[in-house]
Amino acid sequence: MDHLERDHLERLHRRARERRANPIVYGIVRVTFQAFFLVYFRMKRIGREHIPRRGPVIVASNHRSFLDPFVIACMARRPMYYVAKQELFTYNRLISWLLAALGAFPVERGAGDVEFIRTATAILDRGDIVLIFPEGTRTRPGPLGQPKRGVGRLALQTGAPVVPLAVIGTEAVRRGWRIRPHRVRIRAGRALSFPPVADPSVRLAGAVTDRIWPCVMLQWEWLGGAPPARRATVIGSGARATALAVSLARGGLEVVLGCRTAEQARAIAAARENERDLPGVRLPVNVSVRAASEVRLEDQDIVCLAVPGGSLPAVLDRHGGEIGARCGLLVIADGATGALGAAPSAFAAERCEARAVAVLGGFGDPTGLVDPGTRVVVASRDRGFARELQAVLTAAGLEVRTTGDVAALEFGDVRHADRQITARIG
């Protein structure tokens, strides 16, 4: 960023601190947009009474579309100030002026932006509303992303109440430059209050964020948004199955390891490790071990098939009918094929009703799945499911890439799959 751009961004911050939104521009845009949203998007607003009509307020929301600040602003009866990526302010001066007139101010994504905190604090100190997207960027499709600590830090430094809010439907309204009619709903919950702390530690800011974000998720799930994965079952009893169960458990899921026989299940459960195939790796407390014949898959969020390719038809004959539309199916790729030469993931997808199918590979030796920092690749044509798995495995300490090229990963061309990477966390 050159000197002129830096000066321009500094002026925008000073403007946001010292001046309110332009009342004429804001009023015209609000009246026009609100009428459009109510008619064209059939916008439904729930919980408007939870946003105070006066005094400082932080609104913490999920973020799915560039339209979010505009539809969320319709929840309040006064201007709502919000952050926008700084690139929008340097692309075009007319757009920059309009955004500033509407109450936007720049933020540098991916950095601990001190200017953002100073500006947001000044706005709250004068008794206005600040809208924050704790995810830091648009997150779509699938469940919500992981929040950053900034919202917790701001809540502690200012003592302003935090209103958790969720919006759903905005991600489906745009196709290219075309804005399509699609129902949009917004829901706000009761405000949360925290005692002010002059200089909150990173740990304390994180703890407050961890208190705020589940309340946003509550609004999201109430609106019908996809919940995060909480339960997983791994079918298989070899090293890969055991290692995958350990990683999913470390990522925060409740995991069932479904072994081929009851004898295997009893042995692994008693020792709390797979002494034959993965010795020395203890099972976390949130892993339970059962015989595969005793496992119920209907209520699972993720079902993982970590069996040899030759065993896949028999496993699907037994369990395929239990894998319903609420399940995401994960298959460990090893280059093997199912019956008649079909790829394992395609073979599995045809024999169950899973909402999405993904493949995991790129890690080599199965023990890599339990070693922090191991690089793995998740391949799926469903970006939401790929991102969901990426978040869980990243939380387990792995370095996760995603790609839409399932065939390249499944048949061992990991280098080609790497060239198709579409997202990355951590």
Residue with tokens 């169950």: 352
**Residue partners of 86: CB distance under 8 A and separation at least 6:** 9, 106, 107, 108, 109
Cα Rg, the chain, nearest whole Å = 24
CA 288-220-225 angle, 5° bins = 70
Residue with tokens 């009474």: 49
Domain 3-222 in CATH 3.40.50.720: no
Structural domain spans, the chain: 3-222, 231-424
Select the CATH number that applies to the domain covering 231-424 from these four: 3.40.50.720, 3.90.640.10, 3.30.590.10, 3.40.50.12780: 3.40.50.720
The pLDDT value recorded for residue 412 is: 63
- For residue 275, the 8-state DSSP code is T
**Cβ–Cβ under 8 Å, residues 301 and 309:** no
Q: How much is the average pLDDT of 229-255?
A: 93
In angstroms, how far is the first alpha carbon of the chain from the final one?
24
Q: Give dist(CA 16, CA 38) in Å, integer.
A: 29
**Cβ–Cβ under 8 Å, residues 324 and 256:** no
pLDDT in tens, 234-246: 999 889 999 999 9
Please state the length of the chain: 426
pLDDT in tens, 181-219: 889 999 999 999 999 998 899 999 999 999 999 999 999
100 vs 421, more confident: 100
pLDDT band at residue 361, thresholds of 50, 70 and 90? Answer: confident
pLDDT in tens, 266-322: 999 999 999 999 999 999 999 999 999 898 888 899 999 998 877 888 888 889 889
pTM for the model: 0.76
What are the Cα distances from residue 415, in Å, to 271, 376, 377, 379? 38, 12, 10, 13
